[in-house]
Amino acid sequence: MKIALLGCGVVGGGVLEICDSRDDLELKYVLVRREKKELGDRAVFDITTILNDKEIDTVVEVMGGLSPAFEYVSAAMKAGKNVVTANKHLVAHHYCELLELAKENGVAFRCTPAVGGGIPWLYNLERVMRLDKVLSFSGIMNGTTNFILDAMHTEGSDFAEVLALAQELGYAEADPSADIDGLDIQRKCIITANVAFGACLLEEEVPVFGIRHILACDIAAAVSMNRICKMLAFGKLNNGSPAVYVEPSFVRCGELEAAVSTNRNVISFDTELTGKESFYGQGAGRYPTAYNAVADCLDIKNGVKSFYTDIMNPVKPDNSAEKHPYYVRFKGSDEWLDSVSIEKCGEGVVTADVSVAQMHAWAAKAKEADPALFFAGVI
C-alpha cells in the first residue's frame, strides 16, 4: 500500500516512523507547508502531486483544523483515494458531507485515531454493532482535562498552576480553550453518537460545559460527597431519541471513571446483549494516535472499504428526559436556582433532580450575571 501523509507534526511524525518500520506500507509523499530536509524527495508542497499519482491508495490527514483539511480530504476522495484522519474537528463538523463523499466515490473513510487516541474505540463500536444495539455510552475522552482534575484532587493543585504544567508537558496547547471549554470532548462525543445511534448531529445542538472556572472549593465539594470530579461525555437512547451532552460530573469514589488518573481516557458503551464494556488507555499523544492511524491503513489494505456505519439520520438531541442532581456555584441570587436547590454544599448548592436540558439552558444565560459560574452533575 502506498500512502500520502498530509501534515508532519507530532502525530504525523509518528505515522512516518511506524510506516517506515514496515515492509507492507510505503509512505511516498508528505505534504508540508515549509521545507523539511529530513523528508528528502518525499516532501511535497502541492496537493495535486498526490491527487494525480495513481499509485497513492490512501491519504492520511493529520493537519488539524477545518481548512484546508476539508478541501484536501474531499479532493482526495474525489480522486478515488481512501482517507484516514485523526482530525476530530473535521469529522464532527463535516460528518454527513464526508460520509456521502466517501460513498459516492467508493472509497473507505476511517477516523479511529480521532476519538480516544490510541484506544480502538470506534473500531470496537463498529464491531459490537454488527450483532448488538448500543443503548448508551459515556466516558473520559480528553486527557488534558483529566490530568488537570486529577492533579487538583491528588496534589491540591490550583487550576491555573496545573494548566501551565499541562502546557509545559505538551498535554495542552498554548491556547487550551478546546480542552478546558469541552469542545474537544464535544467533537468526540458527536462522532461517537453519530456512529452508535446512526445520527447526524450538529455541533451547536450538543450542549457542553467545561472546567475553565473550576476552583479548589468545587473539588472540596466533590470530596465532601465522596466523589471525584471528572469531565465526561454522555450519549443515551431514550425511546429512540438520543440524549447527548458534555459536562463536569461528580463521580462516586469506587466507580471506574473515578480511578482514571493523569492524562488517560476510559470510554464505555452499554448494549442490549453484552451490557457494559469499557476501553482504557492513552487518549492522545504521538505514538498512540499514530498507531491507530496506521492501523486504519492496514484495515483498508486488508479489505475494509467503508465507514463504521452507513446510517445518517439528521436528528436533534433531546436531553429533557435525562435528570440528576447538580452541584452549582453561582454568585448572587436566582429565582430558578433557588426553587430547585435542596441544600448548601461548601460555596455552592446541590439541586434536586434537574433535566440536563434545563441546567445547560439556565447556565448559558446565568453566565451573563456570573461569568465564573461552575456546575457539575452529581451522578
**What letter represents residue 289's amino acid?**
T
Average pLDDT over residues 211-224: 98
Q: pLDDT class for 173, splitting at 50, 70, 90?
A: confident
Question: What's the rounded Cα separation, in Å, for the pair 111 and 259?
Answer: 28
- The beta strand positions in the chain, using DSSP E, are 2-6, 26-31, 43-44, 58-61, 82-85, 109-110, 134-140, 227-238, 241-252, 264-271, 275-282, 323-324, 326-329, 341-345, 348-351, 354-355, 374-378
Which pLDDT belongs to residue 37?
Answer: 85
Which grid coordinates are listed for 269? Answer: 458503551
Q: Point out the catalytic residue in the list 28, 188, 230, 236.
A: 188
Which pLDDT belongs to residue 142?
Answer: 95
Average pLDDT over residues 136-154: 96
Q: Using the 8-state DSSP alphabet, how is residue 46 labeled?
A: -
pLDDT at residue 104 is higher than 90: yes
Q: pLDDT class for 2, splitting at 50, 70, 90?
A: very high
Which pLDDT belongs to residue 172?
Answer: 85
Which pLDDT belongs to residue 178?
Answer: 96
4-61 tens-digit pLDDT: 999 999 999 999 999 999 999 999 999 998 888 889 999 999 999 999 999 999 999 9
pLDDT at residue 239 is higher than 90: no
Portion of the chain with pLDDT greater than 70, in percent: 100
Delimit the domains of the chain by residue range: 2-110, 122-278+315-378
pLDDT at residue 283 is higher than 90: no
Helical pair 159-168 and 143-154, crossing angle rounded to 10 deg: 130
Which pLDDT belongs to residue 196?
Answer: 97
Architecture of domain 2-110: 3-Layer(aba) Sandwich (3.40)
- Average pLDDT of the residues of the chain: 96
Is domain 122-278+315-378 classified as CATH 3.40.1650.10?
A: no
Question: What's the rounded Cα separation, in Å, for the pair 193 and 137?
Answer: 8
245-266 tens-digit pLDDT: 999 999 999 999 999 999 999 9
- The verdict on whether 188 is a catalytic residue reads yes
The alpha carbons of the chain give a radius of gyration, in whole angstroms, of: 21
299-329 tens-digit pLDDT: 999 999 999 999 999 899 999 999 999 999 9
Coil, strand or helix at 192? helix
Average pLDDT over residues 261-272: 96
Which grid coordinates are listed for 30? Answer: 508528505
Average pLDDT over residues 206-219: 98
